């Protein structure tokens, strides 16, 4: 035993899956950390003997400790903003109409192509800082605003570099199939060929992505185009993901599940057959209340069916300039409850255990459990449900990422 840190005087919401114990609670618990990992967790009264002179002992002031929060779906490396389109939408123009008129994702593509790496890095770092101040320890970042080889690579390199220099862990996803770039307007199949024959192989060769995503939608790519992209991903050894059933039901989720996708995301229009397909494959349903809220959607994701079939549900910010310019995972906890009628416990599992699974990292993080990465958030609250309940006064007291205390 060579513990470096020990937390005591804390209540633990371990977020382990225990039918009889909501939140996986251990009251008056202790957590020991060795080499960046959780070495021991349990009741303080059951702590084994340890050498008090060699261990930094931290007191939690009777607060609550949770796993570090995981934002498993963001587009946080981008140039420009879309405030003008926000004004248009408030005057009644729809998100889809703006996209069809060449705005939407395409306007962010123009701004991202024009931005240099330093600019993208600086704004990306600020956004990661904002997430970290609210207890986030792992973030997924998608490309998808480059839409050509050079700029998809640029976006992913910035995301990878953020992961190297920022304390937050970064998972990267290539979303080259996000929209048609202007130079391929009306040639979706030719663009899909570029993605499959050039962009994905290069991204894989440079090890720039952990997963591949596709926007399967009327304003994105149809089923057979999406299938082609995800099959190429599988061939390259990259895990598929999909933006599916956000604005309509194309059957993308069932396809993604069949291809072994880590997650399908948005899924407001998902039907029961789709839910069954997810349950069968163990694909995570990632719910994005920020986009639902910001686009003033009315079609709710099929919560009851997802629960009934035992599909793991994650919650993420979807932070992006068009449909969810809200850089707060903590606020998403509240929105998941108020907008989607999730319970505070489901919401917290959605940004911990299930979010880890949506990134294929469920063996490494998302629970307070021996052997997992020591990503731990300490909160000044009386009960874990408060994390979903209130917003605005930041209750985060301390944050550890891989066993290192962070400045917050
Ligand atoms: O997750 N649905 C597609 N992609 C993003 C929106 C991107 C944008 O509007 O810039 C989303 O909502
Ligand atoms: Fe998204």
User: In this model, does residue 19 exceed pLDDT 80?
Assistant: no
Point out the annotated binding site for 4-imidazolone-5-propanoate.
82, 145, 178, 246, 323
Point out the annotated binding site.
73, 75, 82, 145, 178, 243, 246, 318, 320, 322-323
User: In this model, does residue 102 exceed pLDDT 90?
Assistant: no
User: In this model, does residue 20 exceed pLDDT 90?
Assistant: no
Per-residue confidence (pLDDT) for residue 15, from 0 to 100: 98
Compute, in angstroms, the gap from residue 173 CA to the centroid of ligand 1: 14
User: Which of 318, 319, 326, 358 to probe ligand 1 with, by most ligand atoms within 8 A of CB?
Assistant: 318
For residue 66, list its beta bridge partners: 377
Q: What is the DSSP letter of 18?
A: -
Compute, in angstroms, the gap from residue 400 CA to the centroid of ligand 2: 27
Assign 338 to helix, strand or coil.
helix
Mean pLDDT of 337-355: 98
Mean pLDDT of 138-160: 98
* Closest listed residue to residue 170, CA positions, set 200, 127, 201: 127
361-399 pLDDT tens trace: 999 999 999 999 999 999 999 999 999 999 999 999 999
Per-residue confidence (pLDDT) for residue 285, from 0 to 100: 98
Band (100; pLDDT cuts 50, 70, 90): confident
List, in sequence order, the alpha helices (H) in 166-206: 188-194, 200-205
Q: Nearest ligand, CA of residue 244?
A: 1
Band (228; pLDDT cuts 50, 70, 90): very high
Mean pLDDT of 114-133: 98
CA 386 – CA 316 distance, rounded (Å): 18
Tokens of 310: 């035992």
User: Which of 85, 104, 105, 268 to probe ligand 1 with, by most ligand atoms within 8 A of CB?
Assistant: 105
Band (341; pLDDT cuts 50, 70, 90): very high
Of all protein residues, the one whose alpha carbon is nearest to atom 11 of ligand 1 is: 323
Question: In which region does residue 38 sit, left (phi positive, over 0), alpha (psi from -120 to 50) or beta (all else)?
Answer: beta
Tokens of 395: 């209750």
Of all protein residues, the one whose alpha carbon is nearest to atom 3 of ligand 1 is: 215
Residue keyed to tokens 């408030």: 90
CA 368 – CA 376 distance, rounded (Å): 8
38-83 pLDDT tens trace: 999 999 999 999 999 999 999 999 999 999 999 999 999 999 999 9
User: Which of 97, 141, 215, 320 to probe ligand 1 with, by most ligand atoms within 8 A of CB?
Assistant: 320
Mean pLDDT of 148-168: 98
262-317 pLDDT tens trace: 999 999 999 999 999 999 999 999 999 999 999 999 999 999 999 999 999 999 99
- Contact yes or no for 310/281 (Cβ under 8 A): no
Complex confidence, ipTM: 0.95
Compute, in angstroms, the gap from residue 145 CA to the centroid of ligand 1: 10
What number does CATH give the domain 69-358? Answer: 3.20.20.140
CATH fold of 5-67+367-405: Urease, subunit C; domain 1 (2.30.40)
- Contact yes or no for 24/366 (Cβ under 8 A): no
Q: What is the DSSP letter of 49?
A: P
User: In this model, does residue 151 exceed pLDDT 90?
Assistant: yes
Mean pLDDT of 195-223: 97
CA 380 – CA 398 distance, rounded (Å): 9
Each domain of the chain, given as residue ranges in start order, spans 5-67+367-405, 69-358
User: In this model, does residue 101 exceed pLDDT 90?
Assistant: no
Residues lining ligand 1, Cβ inside 6 A: 75, 104-105, 108, 215, 243, 246, 291, 318, 320-323
Q: What is the mean pLDDT of the chain?
A: 97
Ligand 1, closest atom to CA 108? 10
């Amino acid at each position: 035993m060579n513990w470096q840190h020990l937390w005591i005087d804390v209540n633990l919401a371990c977020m382990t899956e225990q039918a009889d114990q909501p939140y996986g609670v251990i009251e008056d618990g202790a957590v020991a950390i060795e080499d960046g990992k959780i070495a021991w967790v349990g009741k303080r009264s059951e702590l084994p003997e340890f050498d008090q002179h060699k261990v930094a002992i931290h007191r939690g002031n009777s607060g609550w400790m949770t796993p570090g929060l995981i934002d498993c779906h963001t587009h946080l490396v981008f140039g420009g903003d879309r405030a003008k389109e926000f004004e248009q939408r408030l005057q009644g123009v729809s998100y889809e109409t703006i996209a069809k008129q060449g705005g939407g994702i395409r306007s962010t593509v123009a701004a991202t192509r024009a931005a240099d790496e330093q600019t993208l890095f600086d704004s990306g770092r600020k956004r990661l800082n904002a997430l970290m101040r609210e207890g986030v320890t792992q973030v997924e970042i998608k490309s998808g605003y480059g839409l050509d080889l050079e700029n998809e690579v640029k976006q992913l390199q910035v995301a990878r570099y953020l992961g190297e220099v920022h304390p937050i862990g970064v998972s990267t996803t290539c979303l080259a199939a996000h929209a048609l770039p202007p130079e391929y307007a009306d040639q979706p199949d030719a663009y899909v060929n570029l993605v499959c024959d050039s962009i994905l192989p290069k991204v894989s060769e440079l090890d720039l992505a952990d997963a591949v995503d596709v926007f399967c939608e009327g304003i994105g790519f149809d089923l057979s185009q999406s299938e082609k992209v995800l099959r190429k991903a599988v061939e390259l050894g990259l895990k598929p993901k999909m933006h599916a059933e956000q604005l309509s039901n194309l059957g993308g989720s069932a396809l993604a599940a069949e291809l072994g996708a880590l997650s399908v995301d948005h899924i407001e229009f998902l039907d029961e057959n789709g839910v069954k397909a997810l349950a069968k494959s163990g694909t995570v349903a990632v719910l994005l209340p920020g986009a639902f809220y910001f686009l003033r959607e009315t079609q709710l994701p099929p919560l009851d069916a997802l629960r009934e079939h035992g599909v793991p549900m994650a919650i993420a910010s979807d932070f992006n300039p068009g449909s969810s310019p809200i850089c707060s995972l903590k606020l998403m906890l509240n929105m998941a409850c108020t907008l989607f009628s999730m319970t505070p416990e489901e919401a917290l599992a959605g940004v911990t255990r299930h979010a880890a699974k949506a990134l294929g990292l469920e063996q490494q993080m998302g629970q307070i459990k021996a052997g997992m990465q020591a990503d731990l958030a300490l909160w000044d609250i009386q009960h874990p449900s408060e994390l979903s309940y209130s917003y605005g006064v930041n209750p985060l007291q301390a944050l550890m990422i891989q066993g290192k205390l962070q400045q917050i």
